[in-house]
Amino acid sequence: MQTVLWIPDNHPPLTKTYPDTIIRSLPLAAIIREATNLLATGELVAFPTETVYGLGANALDQQALARVFAAKGRPSDNPLIAHVASLSQVAMLSDQVPTIAWELMSRFWPGPLSILLPALPTLPMQLTAGLPHVAVRMPRHAIARALIASLGHPIAAPSANLSGRPSPTTPDHVLTDLAGRIGGVISSGACEVGIESTVVAIDENRIVILRPGQISGGDLEQLGYTVRYDAGLDDRDVKAVPRAPGQKYRHYAPTGQLTVVIGPDEKMIDYIQSGIRKSRAANLRVGVLYLAEEHYDEADLSIRLGVSRQSDEIARNLYSALRTCDDQMLDVIFVEGLPDQESFRAIGNRLYKAASGRVVQV
């Protein structure tokens, strides 16, 4: 299949080329029109959101949803998030919206928060994977909202990566995984947040975080309700069963073996430096993802996740860094441990999954 890469006028072209891809540079309004036509005929269009690029399909079209699972190689028991452009579109997905959900919407939408709502019984099975709830989010990105409004239906959109690869935060990432497998991609540079939305459920009068994201437990508590994390979220407990099916997979996994090293700076740096020497002695390619200062000039590759120890900046850079590790064919990757603060919880969740439990405390 041929994939159309739409580049809005005045945006820079991509630096790499991709197979089965044609480039169309057009005014944004024309791009939205063409992309809407593809979606309306059941094709898939990847588009930018403030979190990561999404792989969009008409959320009410079963065949289009089936194509999403096929293009990504996604397990069929993992439900999708339905994206809306207005509150009136919520009614196309649920007719039992709890008061807390309305309060969350008015406080955090448009933005990186997905809310589980009781699903209308008529919704396609693939959208909810047969679960009683549907996840709904109103993205903040103007292109995402324009596309959904133009289609007139909610758009189901998982992250636009092949299953098991890091989520895409640039159009290059999308095309690396999906060129030739989808109808089109709307290019809009790098995503602002860089990790996926916070996913919450509402149990009685409590908010339960099923997937941590930039909107933290502390942010959610501002509404005055009790907030807790899903007990199945503990990334270091292999027996825990998460409520968001996507949390059980080994997501975001680089091909190299990734280890997170936690401890006081001096010990952590020592441990990583000696790991680098051992890896090199064994003829392995070794890389480091570090937080602030470089101490690793013997590594084959070192990437700074942020100039500061600020979670927003690290979140924005994380997936690109993991993809670079793959591109550079690293065998071994060390990551400096993150500060033990709530604002780093979402990044830690992604990293611990990528590390499959290899967390060393020094």
By CB under 6 A, how many residues form the interface with ligand TXA?
A: 31
Helix (H, G, I), strand (E, B) or coil at 299: coil
**Cα atoms in the Cβ-side hemisphere of radius 13 Å centred on 202:** 23
Would you count residue 114 as binding Mg ion (CB under 5 A)? Answer: no
What DSSP line would sit under 39-98, residue for residue? HHTT--EEE--SSS-EEEEETT-HHHHHHHHHHHT--TTS--EEE-SSGGGGGGT-S---
- 73-102 residues in contact with ligand TXA (CB under 6 A) are 78-81
By CB under 6 A, tell whether 253 contacts ligand TXA: no
Chosen from ligand TXA, Mg ion, none, partner binding at 178 (C-beta under 5 to 8 Å by type):
none
Applying CB under 6 A, does 157 fall inside the site for ligand TXA?
yes
190 binds, among Mg ion, ligand TXA, none (CB under 5 to 8 A by kind): none
Please identify, using beta-carbon distances, which residue of 7 and 157 lies nearer to ligand TXA.
Answer: 157
Distance CA 283, CA 171 (A): 34
Q: Is 349 in the site for Mg ion (CB under 5 A)?
A: no
- Which one of Mg ion, ligand TXA, none interacts with residue 247, CB within 5 to 8 A by kind? ligand TXA
Interface with ligand TXA, residue 138, by CB under 6 A = no
| Span from 112-120, 151-159, 218-226, 330-338 in contact with Mg ion (CB under 5 A) | 151-159
Q: Report 222-251 residues binding ligand TXA (CB under 6 A).
A: 243-247
Is 247 a binding residue for Mg ion by CB under 5 A? The answer is no
51 near Mg ion, judged by CB under 5 A: no
* Measured distance CA(54)–CA(46) in Å, rounded: 5
Judged by beta carbon, residue 159 or residue 214, the one nearer Mg ion is 159
Q: Rounded to 5 degrees, what are φ and ψ at 203?
A: -115, 115
159 binds Mg ion (CB under 5 A): yes
The tokens describing 91, both together, are 């009614």
Using the contact rule CB under 6 A, the part of the chain among 58-66, 152-160, 180-188, 270-278 near ligand TXA is 152-160
Alpha carbon 187 to its chain centroid, in Å, reads 17
Regarding 306 and contact with ligand TXA (CB under 6 A), the answer is no
Rounded Cα distance, 144 and 82, in Å: 12
Nearer to ligand TXA, 196 or 300 (CB): 196
User: Residue 345, by phi and psi: left (phi above 0), alpha (psi -120 to 50) or beta?
Assistant: alpha
For residue 251, what is the DSSP state?
-
Amino acid occupying residue 357: G
* Rounded CA separation 291/339 (Å): 10
The residue ranges that bind Mg ion (CB under 5 A) are 159
The residue ranges that bind ligand TXA (CB under 6 A) are 49, 51-52, 54, 78-81, 112, 114, 116, 128, 131, 133-135, 137, 139, 157-159, 196-197, 199, 210-211, 243-247
